[in-house]
Structure 1
């Protein structure tokens, strides 16, 4: 687990495998084989055996030095219930954030729009959220991270680590602050599939908003989108500002760290997050509140079991109660892309095992939705 002593070992670890011992072993093997050959001390097959032994020695030296460049962290069986529960919530929030169509890091000088304002596309660079490689660290649990420019934040069970210029610094969860807000922007780049389009304007327009007839050839409509804005800060961390195309996912991430979400957030998004936290019990409670007591008393065990399966499926895919086929399918595709074997092929075995398990859960959840659609699809194509 992460301690100050372990962190010091990580930062002081050798960055590369030393070449000198390998070259010395290689040269020594060749010299010994040459002497044995010249003086005919041993038969040819014995000299070949010496060369083979030298090759094994070089391989052993390489693996020994390679192991020193990585520090192992063991968590399985070492986490108390509170830490494990919080880490699970953090992991779910990051997985939801990673499923966003686009995530950008905003430049520090960007002025964010006030309520009701619409701002041009800000100065921004692509950021990445997902299961990331942790240089010099091998953990036996999947580690999610945020990679923005030259900075990275890795989320471990007991706290986070910042990674800048090949150095890790501790970032305790109780000092990590996440603020959420929303902003309307003119989106002149490719429009993400999950962006919320609230209006359109013209590239060249009159004061009344109509298109300027002087620019008929080059005048196109530009979507006005509502993006989620995250500000991640800590006493030891320069502010990291992210623009997220999937606004509900950004809101859920902020809530995980205790942020108060703007009241401008649509009501249905809050409902979806509430269900994600409470799981099957919340799904059943919502069903009970939507029907009178008499109907509830006569509901069959089969119906209750069906609702429980749907609640589990919704939680696995991170969708709200009442999600339509298009929304469910989009959530499935995003998660399947995150956990696809090709995406985690170069990561640690523990990460590949975790993604394999998540793929099973995701596939089972999607299969449950398709089964329900086939059995009892409603007129508007919505179930659950």
Structure 2
């Protein structure tokens, strides 16, 4: 299938290989490697269900549910409702999956080699000129520690996807959302209604305000996950969604949670947006307005430098779930958002 990338994965000094007998792992340098196996994680997704083979037992979570962030009030009186839903760390089930436990553990581990590098450099400066010998001798230690950090911050997973799930995932990874060129993606973080005439006047006559951040989409997957497949991914500021063959991973900072596709609802709708920045060229302009608009829609001439603004038509993708999940994304191409929603709902 097209979503498969490789049968050999590297994490630090370790190389994992998939063979008919299972997973094997080796470590060493080119020309000299020591191997053992099978180890790691192997997930088989087929029409009859998901089979998971791991190397670490699940750890129950004791954290309870907490509500999402309360609304915030801007200086102009506009109440902004956060579009973040339940915090990611509270979406974790009572018995989270083994895979998510390993990803969360790996993500929490910090890089140690930069600290060793800084310590060696400081000692080399303090003890100069003899510190040069210390710096040269410390290079192998830094390289070894970096490889160790890479291994400790990596979760190796081999996927085998068959039957109907393979066909659905093939369509997903090849859908318009991740193959077509969409010029811009935004993560909508908060929304607030504009009620008073003054609030609407100074906001180009809009009915609501959107706080958003620039996002992106790719097929990279989580930074700590080393896998043999392409992973469709949506990224915002400190927040990402990863679509694996058998589940959806949600990241906020270093916190991860997973949900089955059956618990994800994808909705798409057209979104008219008054653009104050340079508009993307792949989105249609459906009208214009003024930065300071009067009640009739014309320019309020009491304001200087009252520029004309384009009204763009975007596509809004909303992800919701019964556990309080809420994530909102705007795409400069509405057909890309529609393609993603269709592919997601097909994975249910």
TM category (shorter chain) comes to: 0.5 to 0.7
Contact 1:104–1:243 (Cα < 8 Å) also in 2: yes
> In the alignment, which residue of structure 1 is the partner of 2:217?
129
TM-score (ref. length: structure 1): 0.50
> In the alignment, which residue of structure 1 is the partner of 2:103?
10
Question: Which of 150, 160, 164 is equivalent to 1:66?
Answer: 150
Contact 2:241–2:248 (Cα < 8 Å) also in 1: yes
> In the alignment, which residue of structure 2 is the partner of 1:375?
none
SS in 1 for 2:210: coil
Larger radius of gyration: 1
> What's the CA shift for 1:55?
7.8
Contact 2:318–2:327 (Cα < 8 Å) also in 1: yes
RMSD: 3.6
> What's the CA shift for 1:170?
1.2
> What's the CA shift for 1:161?
0.8
CA distance in 2 between counterparts of 1:55 and 1:106 reads 45
Contact 2:193–2:209 (Cα < 8 Å) also in 1: no
Contact 2:191–2:208 (Cα < 8 Å) also in 1: no
Question: Which of 65, 83, 103 is equivalent to 2:165?
Answer: 83
Is 1:181 the equivalent of 2:275?
no
TM-score (ref. length: structure 2): 0.54
CA distance in 2 between counterparts of 1:191 and 1:129 reads 19
Question: Which of 89, 92, 100 is equivalent to 2:174?
Answer: 92
Larger helix proportion of the pair: 1
Contact 1:127–1:148 (Cα < 8 Å) also in 2: yes
CA distance in 1 between counterparts of 2:282 and 2:288 reads 16
Aligned length: 224
SS in 1 for 2:161: coil
> In the alignment, which residue of structure 1 is the partner of 2:187?
105
* Runs of 4+ off more than 6 Å: 54-58
> What's the CA shift for 1:121?
5.7
Contact 2:103–2:225 (Cα < 8 Å) also in 1: yes
CA distance in 1 between counterparts of 2:232 and 2:318 reads 18
Question: Which of 235, 238, 247 is equivalent to 1:150?
Answer: 238
> In the alignment, which residue of structure 2 is the partner of 1:245?
332
Which segment is superposed worse, 173-182 or 141-150? Answer: 141-150
Higher relative contact order (CA 8 A, sep 6+): 2
Measured at CA, do residues 174 and 219 of structure 1 come closer, stay the same or move farther in structure 2, by a change above 3 Å? same
CA distance in 2 between counterparts of 1:70 and 1:222 reads 47
SS in 2 for 1:193: coil
Measured at CA, do residues 256 and 213 of structure 1 come closer, stay the same or move farther in structure 2, by a change above 3 Å? same
> In the alignment, which residue of structure 2 is the partner of 1:48?
none
> In the alignment, which residue of structure 2 is the partner of 1:363?
none
CA distance in 2 between counterparts of 1:241 and 1:57 reads 45
CA distance in 2 between counterparts of 1:240 and 1:152 reads 10
Measured at CA, do residues 219 and 165 of structure 1 come closer, stay the same or move farther in structure 2, by a change above 3 Å? closer
